Amino acid sequence: MAITILAPAPAGVPYLRENSPDPEDGGADLEGDHDMRPAKRARHKKDVVTPGEIVTDDPQWMRGHGTFIAPASTEIIATVAGTVQKTNKLLSVRPLRARYTPEIGDLVVGRIVEVQPKRWRVDVGAPVLADLPLSAINLPGGILRKRTETDELQIRTFFSEGDLLVAEVQSLRQDGSASLHTRSLKYGKLRNGVFMSVSGTGGGGGVVRARRQVWTIDTVNAGGKVDVVLGVNGYIWISKHVEVAGGDTAITRMEESVSSTVYSSQNDEIAPETRREISRIRGVVNLLVEEGLRVDEDMVMKGYEAAIMIDGEEAGESNAYLGGEKGKKVLGLLSGP
């Protein structure tokens, strides 16, 4: 069967208004501090407010992020759609979905959208484009090489429009825009793989800041090694692992040995088995995102193992697609034990 058409799942139970009669604390749950109890908190997680909705009119609360108080009133109004969060007397609304806000040291995956005389403009999923100055990249031919005018003229041979790169946020400017750098062997142009974009930090699911954002998976079915780069901004790169040539070169000469392919836009040969495993990992990440789960090394590895197990159980040809029934089984395995 080429197509599966399902009946829509019934909508979730509409959430109860906060002032619904509650025998436990006499319906005064917003006003009191009772809701610092964990049980209450878990229930409050479901409370979603929409922009313009009055969260409370009690003057004892201070307004935090995502809220607004109209002049000459005490009503706290939500400005974003999200969940209400209370920290002592501070009331803030945590958005369901937000754009990425760069922070210094973040590992991000970005796409070049504009080339300017001495810098690139990079889309990192933030409200404003990030900058990558020509002076913040490793030029081919040694780390200590001076940047020359020729480099400025040939700026497109390093990165041109549409190219993907992995970089680190070096500094932030007043308007919240980031300046990136790729001055490390870990960073640079991306090739040999697929890109996907999920929501970054801010919402419930998506990529979260973790101990490791980049790791290598030893795949099954003769797939070889696959690298996964989870950009903190929600951009993800999954690619074939390329061994650095000449592993025993001295640390000072390492730069020269890799620089010949750093700015290449030509893919290496990638076996079909590797490609299949790459799509499987992509499917796992997609599944995690659709279910609103966090995407990090732990979850992706668990999901990948579950996907392989489910695929092995099923008779017939191996199929990496994780939609419909199969996806549900994988999720069941993920949440089960």
Partner 1 sequence: MAPSASTQQILLSPAELSYLHTSLSLTPPIRPDGRRATDFRPLHAETDILPGTYGSARICFADGTEAVVGVKAEVEKSTPSYVGDDEGGGEKGRNEWVEVSVEIPGMRDDDSMPVFLAAMLSESLLADGGFTGRLWINRRFHWKLYLDILLLSQPLSYPLPLLSLTTHLALLSTRLPKLKSEKDEDPLFDDDWDASVHLYPVGSAKPAVTLLVMAVKDNIIFDPSKEELSVAEVVLAVSIASHSSSAGSGRMQVDSGSGRQLRLLAVRTIDPPSRLTHPGVPNSLNTATGGTAAASLEQENSKREGLHEEGVWQPPRGGAKRKLIAGMIARVLEKGGVGEDVLDGLDAVELG
Q: Residue 302: in which H helix or E strand, if any? A: helix 297-313
Q: Which of residues 258-277 bind partner 1 (CB under 8 A)?
A: 260-270, 272, 275-276
What does the DSSP assignment read for 45-82?
A: TT-EE-TT-EEE--TTSEE-TTEEE-TT---EEESSSE
**CB 255, CB 137: distance < 8 Å:** no
By CB under 8 A, residue 154 contacts partner 1: yes
CB of 254 to partner 1, least distance (A): 17
**C-alpha to C-alpha distance for 71 and 255, rounded to whole angstroms:** 59
Question: 206 near 294, Cβ under 8 Å?
Answer: yes
Task: Collect all residues with Cβ–Cβ distance below 8 Å to 209 and sequence separation of at least 6.
Answer: 106, 201, 232
Tell me the C-alpha distance between 297 and 288, whole Å.
12
The token duo for 329 is 């089984």
Closer residue to partner 1 in complex, CB, 91/307: 307
Q: Which is nearer to partner 1, 73 or 157 (CB)?
A: 157
The nearest distance, CB 41 to partner 1, in angstroms, is 29
A 10 A CB-CB count for 259 gives 18
Residue 192 has a CB neighbour count (10 Å cut-off) of 20
Question: In terms of CB distance, is 162 or 336 closer to partner 1?
Answer: 162
DSSP code of residue 147: P
Give the interface segment with partner 1, choosing from 27-35, 126-134, 176-184, 256-264 (CB under 8 A). Answer: 256-264
CA neighbor of 192 nearest in space, from 261, 123, 112, 254: 261
- Which among 128-136, 155-163, 203-211, 223-231 is the span making contact with partner 1, rule CB under 8 A? 155-163
**How far is 283 from 130, CA to CA, in rounded Å?**
29
Of 69, 113, 254, 258, the one binding partner 1 by CB under 8 A? 113
Of 51 and 64, CB closest to partner 1: 51
CB of 135 to partner 1, least distance (A): 16
- Copy the structure tokens of residue 275: 């490609």
Q: How many residues bind partner 1 (CB under 8 A)?
A: 53
| CB of 315 vs partner 1, minimal distance in Å | 15
Mapping DSSP to helix (H, G, I), strand (E, B) and coil, where does residue 282 land?
helix
- Residue 7 makes contact with partner 1 by CB under 8 A: yes
Q: Contact with partner 1 (CB under 8 A): which of 207, 280, 304, 330? A: 280
**Piece of the chain touching partner 1 by CB under 8 A; list 7-15, 61-69, 127-135, 175-183:** 7-15
- Residue whose C-alpha is closest to residue 230's, from 101, 107, 94: 107
Per rule CB under 8 A, is residue 190 in the interface with partner 1?
Answer: yes
160 binds partner 1 (CB under 8 A): yes
Contacts to partner 1 from residues 307-336, by CB under 8 A? 319-324
Question: Minimum distance between the CB of residue 82 and partner 1, rounded to whole angstroms?
Answer: 18
Residues that bind partner 1 (CB under 8 A): 1-9, 111, 113, 140, 154, 157-158, 160-164, 189-195, 260-270, 272, 275-276, 279-280, 282-283, 286, 290, 319-324
